[in-house]
Structure 1
Amino acid sequence: MDYNQCQEMQCMKFAGFRVQNFRNILDSGWIEANRITAFVGQNEAGKSNLFEALYVLNPIIPDIEYSVDEDWPVDRWEGRKDAEGEPVCEARFELNAAEIASLFSAARVPIPAPADGEDPVPEPQLPTDASLNLTKWYGYKTEHKAVGYPEGALDPAKVAEWATKNVPKFVYIRDYEMSGAQVELDQLYQRLTNVGGKRHQLSNEDQTVLIILDLANIDLKDFIEKGKTAEGRTNRSFDKRSASKYLTKQFSELWRQKEVEFDIEIDGPTLNIFAEDANIGMPVRLHRRSTGFRWYVSFAWKFTHATKGDFKNCVLLLEEPGVHLHFTGQRDLLTVFDRLSANNTILYTTHLASMVDLAHPERVRIVESRDHHLSITQGIVSQQKEPMAVIEQSLGLTGDQSGILGNRQVLIVEGGDDTVVLNKLSGLLKSGGKEGLSDRVYLWPAHGAQKTPMYAGFAIGQGWDAGVLLDSDEAGNDAKSKITELYLPKLAEGKEQKFRTLMLGQAAGSKKTDFAIEDLFPDAFYVDCVNKAYGLAIKLDDLPQDGSDMITKRVEHLLKSRYGHKKLDKRTVMAEMWKRFDTWKSVDDLPKEAVQHSEKVFKVINAAFG
């Protein structure tokens, strides 16, 4: 019995991969993967090449191979003649206890019976940690290797057989858009015949129509033949009704914004697809619906086709998903990814700030171009301006987002660091069943406490439902005074508009006189980050006890007085904190003091916005 049949399972854990000798990729280095991983970078950096190389390793469509003539790096062209046997891609899947046992049961080498007078050979012990590694070279089939089992315990051929049945297939989707225009089935059949049945040589539109027919269990040639007789046309009407209901059901699994029904209508050889919103009741031909809606239709049906309607046990490789969707649709798509990631692994490329989930910086991989070759930076710290522009915009640091912000509840914070920290903490708290930041509240970073009154004045002037969260220190108190004096009196002229001024230390329930975003964490945690960033060995007892009790000011005083620094470089220390953030997967990974402080802060914010 296959492992898939043994239990209802999540997708096997895809741990990561490496690509070499492929187009502009000389060596990507090892790329760690999460259940959801976003590859962020500018055009022509090599994001597509990365996915294409990975896809061939274990594709949903079999028998796809690398082509030395097309895929070997151009600037190493002299080595092309010796390319056969050179590595292209490797990947690792980590096995859980059930998978370890299943593979062992399927591929174990039988222990021979002992000869007379000999003691029996003991059974090999199952490993507690094991993985299945896939590797592919130019000119060779994919190799499957079990790692962690006792030497000689498994039959390599049976390992490959088990892997073929159970390792998640890679599904690569890059051409989403379909026009939805009518299709002449007889002409489609002729085009398919002309390419010898090789679908990948057809247009994206033709391939999508064939997928629709596949989902409906409709054979194109048989369907055309049925249209030639009255009885055949009657039978065909039942086929298309059944297909319409199935496509509607599968689409509803991924699109939950509103209820939509599809109707495949065929008149002679002509196929049309109609989409009807339940609350309107009037069918509209698909080609007259929005580009974003057609994108979603194409994605939903291609995913349905690849997974045979199960929506599970795949590694989805998605190029620029959501590029045709508006902002809200893009955020909804991230929610769909979260839901699908329970049973699939999702890797996607994007240059859209709104397709980067602020609660999960650990999901981001920056794709850079260095000397015309792809390079990967794990996390959200990069020296290159182009890919980081996406991250900066996702944090609200660039671009004009007033149209979006004006339709949200907006909380101004002092900077991008506050946004990263609060979103990360919120995401972890919510995953652990605790209260995080309300989905209604959007964090809008200013550029320091001194500039928050300008942000507040703009928000109040535009009539936004807004507020500000300020550090409990001198700069924060000064900003609060300016906002109160300059802008809050104007609220009396309005009717229902609200603006909240919240102080971080008070919201966190701290007894410290001064309190900033770093003080949400234990002092020892921040000092450890400082030591790592500066290469020092500061102890808590070294910090001054008088003056401000804000951890950053205490550390800065020591750096100046003992080590000769002009100031504390908060950006360097925050970069080290972000590295720690990337390792936190659940609320249990957080320091307890951070859980207590941050949960109180989110409760105060949520209550203030009602």
Structure 2
Amino acid sequence: MRIIGAHVTNYRSVIDSEAFEVEEGKTILVGVNEAGKTAILKALQSINPPKDAPLLDFLADYPRSKLNDIQRGHRSPAEIQIAEATFSLDAADRAAVANEVTLPEDATITWHRYLDNTLKYSLRGFPSVPALATIKQDLLRLRAHLVIQGAVLVPSAAETPSTARAQGALESFLSEIDELHNQNDRDPVGGKGAAMLQKILTAAVPLVDEDNDKEMSRLAKLDAISKIDAHNVKAKGTLLERLPLLVYYSTYFTVRPRIDLESLAARQERGDIDNEYDFGNLCLLKLLGFTSKELSTLATGAPIRPTSYESDASVRAEHDKAVIAHQRNLDNRQYQLNAASVTLTQDLRRVWGDDALTLRIFADGQYLKVMVVDDLGVEVELDQRSEGFRWLVSFFVVFRSQAEGALEGAVLLVDEPGLSLHALKQQEFRKTISLLGEDNQIIYSTHSPFMVGSDELDLVRIVEMKSRLQGTKVHTRLQVDDPRSIFPLQAALGYELAQSMFSQKRNLVCEGVTDMFYLNATNESAKSDGGASFRNSLAVIPAGTASKVAYFCTIYAGQNLQVAALLDSDNAGDQAAQQDALVALLPKKAVLRIKDFLAVGYSGAEIEDLFRETIGSLAKGLGWDSVATITAQPQRPIVEILVQEHGKGVSKWKLAKAFTAWLGSHGFKSLPTEEQIAWGRLVSAVNKVL
């Protein structure tokens, strides 16, 4: 079960985030300070938080500007939705409810968390519960049949006490049918209505003529309808048990290198716990399977030998038994500390890249210590290692303890991960998050460009708050009100560009970022499927606009690197292709135009026109259905058609994102033959030039 969409409302800085998509592996929230990224993550955690997570509290969590609505009784916490998350169901989920319902692959369940901490749900793809209107004709016909049967079973000429009772039962039963029939047509046959129908059917079975196939079929039909809602409810209960935990982690949750067990136990007994300071330590104890009091008691030493030990056999036996139990508890403590040390060491080695690194957790009197063993075998306290290393240790401790036995499948919500890590370590940790995303969905917020890869821009959701009145919004598009929100993306692209700008001998300069997405995604997919692909470690470089292509080509040529330009066949591309600098710098064959690779070239063709049929279908899925026009006007640019028919809301970014996702799941060979041929022409021309 994985989240595919989410929506946050009425939580702290969030009035209405608007619905946003969640990626299957990891999703990245980017935005300026105070935009509301933390509020989004914490609200999502409320869908299914760990047991020790705090409950929603309207005083702390409802937007402060609207608090009077609750205090004056105008609104009830029970009617205020905080978060909703829509989950797709995998094969195991569908199999788990197969005895109740048969579900298609696209069935989903949406969980809704309310401010009073109640959890509700809605279903898509499940058997629909019909309205009463759909069964009322059957109820009337069943009633008529029973009246006829009743007249035969209870003839008025033979009045006896038993027949009178039967007649009275029949009349009572018929009145129940009338009661159900008179209810609102729109009421579903669920809950009370389903219970009434079941009661009616149970009473009707012995009265229906079993040789009457039509009435027996009607009974079977009504019986099946009466059970739909119950089956859905039972399936919901099964899915609730399978609902993954949502684990929130903040940089503030730090594991201390030395934990004073006696002091921590005393503060716990007094209820004097600092959630930020103690949370990491409590998570470590939870991971170890001990309370601070249990470890503190063990540290007091073995039971003291009584004065009557030698003279009283029963006292001696009792003491020896207590000593053995104490030693067993010490062994158990050591084994559990060792097991946790091994698990955390494996986690850290995978991220830190140091196979000699070892983490040790051991008890030293009233202190629980976290030590690190380096490649020389030297043990040092955790606080003597870097802040970034301590952050990683704390991260894995909290994640594993909060997820408990449900680590696999848990959704990890990470607030500003890796802030104290070096830039290169952040890049490594980004890869680790991708690995975790194979078993655990990850949603994390960041300001760092090193936590966003240039190949991950389609995973980014922009979080911004234009005003407190509007509250926090989450966008999948890059056209935001505050340009500062996308600075990490710009910096990430800038860094990748700077790193790759002169690292490859052969370079293809294209107009924009979306062009780069199409080229890189299609090239990788074609390479995997045995299709035509770029040779010689080609680098694809976006110039930003057509007018800047000449400048980029000049820089590359000045470094004695091979370079070619790929331009759209629109006006901007025409002007760029005719720039004196580009004409003088590159041979004619090195200035490539999109229209030259189409079966029939036409003016205005852009890179989207290489994949015209596929993008037309994807645009329809995005709500821009222009398939008929695209088919009827084959020599008109597809983006021009979409913009004309659907306005400026058409986003080339969304089209590129949808295409990249589609190609990743379907593969290059799923493209129409004509599009594969057009791509082959482009690849052949690029490989020939470079």
TM-score normalised by structure 1 residue count: 0.71
1:234-273: CA deviation from partner (whole Å, max 9, x where unpaired) = 6455554343223213434555565521122443223332
1:16–1:30 contact (8 Å) kept in structure 2 = yes
Shift of 1:21: 1.8
- Local SS of the residue matching 1:318: strand
Shift of 1:305: 1.9
> Hey, what's the Cα distance between the residues in 2 that align with 1:20 and 1:363?
22
Residue 565 of structure 2 is aligned to residue 470 of structure 1: yes
Task: Give the equivalent residue in structure 1 for 2:384.
Answer: 288
Shift of 1:434: 6.9
Task: Give the equivalent residue in structure 2 for 1:368.
Answer: 464
Give the direction of change, closer, same or farther, for the CA distance of 1:137–1:510 in structure 2 (3 Å limit). closer
Shift of 1:429: 5.0
Moved more, 448-457 or 54-63: 448-457
Give the direction of change, closer, same or farther, for the CA distance of 1:227–1:606 in structure 2 (3 Å limit). farther
> Hey, what's the Cα distance between the residues in 1 that align with 2:58 and 2:648?
48
> Hey, what's the Cα distance between the residues in 2 that align with 1:345 and 1:430?
27
- Local SS of the residue matching 1:308: helix
- Local SS of the residue matching 1:379: coil
- Local SS of the residue matching 2:110: strand
Choose from 268, 272, 276 the match for 1:203: 276
Matches within 5 A, 1:553-568: none
Task: Give the equivalent residue in structure 2 for 1:170.
Answer: 246
> Hey, what's the Cα distance between the residues in 2 that align with 1:449 and 1:471?
9
1:176–1:298 contact (8 Å) kept in structure 2 = no
- Local SS of the residue matching 1:248: helix
Give the direction of change, closer, same or farther, for the CA distance of 1:541–1:315 in structure 2 (3 Å limit). closer
Q: Which amino acid aligns with 2:14?
A: I
Residue 82 of structure 2 is aligned to residue 88 of structure 1: yes
> Structure 1: where are the runs of 5+ without partners?
1-11, 109-124, 486-500, 545-550, 564-568
Task: Give the equivalent residue in structure 1 for 2:127.
Answer: 149
Shift of 1:360: 4.4
> Hey, what's the Cα distance between the residues in 2 that align with 1:140 and 1:536?
45
> Hey, what's the Cα distance between the residues in 2 that align with 1:431 and 1:195?
58
Shift of 1:42: 1.6
Give the direction of change, closer, same or farther, for the CA distance of 1:155–1:295 in structure 2 (3 Å limit). same
1:45–1:367 contact (8 Å) kept in structure 2 = yes
2:78–2:118 contact (8 Å) kept in structure 1 = no
1:134-191: CA deviation from partner (whole Å, max 9, x where unpaired) = 2222224212455513534336774554234211111111236637543323223233
Shift of 1:591: 5.0
Shift of 1:318: 1.5
Give the direction of change, closer, same or farther, for the CA distance of 1:597–1:262 in structure 2 (3 Å limit). farther
1:48–1:319 contact (8 Å) kept in structure 2 = yes
Q: Which amino acid aligns with 2:60?
A: E
- Local SS of the residue matching 1:16: strand
> Hey, what's the Cα distance between the residues in 1 that align with 2:524 and 2:292?
48
2:255–2:280 contact (8 Å) kept in structure 1 = no
Residue 58 of structure 2 is aligned to residue 68 of structure 1: yes
Choose from 30, 55, 65 the match for 2:19: 30
- Local SS of the residue matching 1:52: helix
Shift of 1:59: 0.6
1:305-331: CA deviation from partner (whole Å, max 9, x where unpaired) = 233366411122111223333333333
Task: Give the equivalent residue in structure 1 for 2:102.
Answer: 126
Task: Give the equivalent residue in structure 2 for 1:338.
Answer: 434
Task: Give the equivalent residue in structure 2 for 1:488.
Answer: none
1:385-408: CA deviation from partner (whole Å, max 9, x where unpaired) = 122333333333xxx778755895
2:8–2:16 contact (8 Å) kept in structure 1 = yes
Shift of 1:505: 6.7
2:262–2:366 contact (8 Å) kept in structure 1 = yes
- Local SS of the residue matching 2:465: strand
- Local SS of the residue matching 1:34: coil
> Hey, what's the Cα distance between the residues in 1 that align with 2:123 and 2:608?
46
Residue 483 of structure 2 is aligned to residue 385 of structure 1: yes
Shift of 1:504: 5.4
Task: Give the equivalent residue in structure 2 for 1:42.
Answer: 32
Task: Return the index of the structure with the highest Cα Rg.
Answer: 2
Task: Give the equivalent residue in structure 1 for 2:267.
Answer: 191
> Hey, what's the Cα distance between the residues in 2 that align with 1:187 and 1:433?
64
1:520–1:593 contact (8 Å) kept in structure 2 = no
Give the direction of change, closer, same or farther, for the CA distance of 1:333–1:433 in structure 2 (3 Å limit). farther
Percent identity between the aligned chains? 24
1:103–1:159 contact (8 Å) kept in structure 2 = yes
Task: Give the equivalent residue in structure 1 for 2:322.
Answer: none
Task: Give the equivalent residue in structure 1 for 2:158.
Answer: none
Give the direction of change, closer, same or farther, for the CA distance of 1:215–1:527 in structure 2 (3 Å limit). closer
Give the direction of change, closer, same or farther, for the CA distance of 1:242–1:596 in structure 2 (3 Å limit). same
1:45–1:369 contact (8 Å) kept in structure 2 = yes
Give the direction of change, closer, same or farther, for the CA distance of 1:596–1:388 in structure 2 (3 Å limit). farther
2:457–2:489 contact (8 Å) kept in structure 1 = no
Q: Which amino acid aligns with 2:293?
A: K
1:179–1:287 contact (8 Å) kept in structure 2 = no
Task: Give the equivalent residue in structure 2 for 1:270.
Answer: 367
1:19–1:28 contact (8 Å) kept in structure 2 = yes
> Hey, what's the Cα distance between the residues in 2 that align with 1:445 and 1:428?
20
Choose from 665, 671, 674 the match for 1:586: 665
> Hey, what's the Cα distance between the residues in 1 that align with 2:231 and 2:619?
51
Task: Give the equivalent residue in structure 2 for 1:394.
Answer: 492
Give the direction of change, closer, same or farther, for the CA distance of 1:460–1:283 in structure 2 (3 Å limit). farther
Give the direction of change, closer, same or farther, for the CA distance of 1:300–1:165 in structure 2 (3 Å limit). same
2:564–2:689 contact (8 Å) kept in structure 1 = no
Moved more, 348-357 or 512-521: 512-521
Choose from 4, 16, 28 the match for 2:5: 16
> Hey, what's the Cα distance between the residues in 2 that align with 1:48 and 1:98?
32
> Hey, what's the Cα distance between the residues in 1 that align with 2:243 and 2:590?
51
> Hey, what's the Cα distance between the residues in 2 that align with 1:237 and 1:405?
50
> Structure 2: where are the runs of 5+ without partners?
130-226, 303-325, 568-572
Shift of 1:480: 6.0
> Hey, what's the Cα distance between the residues in 1 that align with 2:493 and 2:8?
30
- Local SS of the residue matching 1:29: coil
Task: Give the equivalent residue in structure 2 for 1:229.
Answer: 301
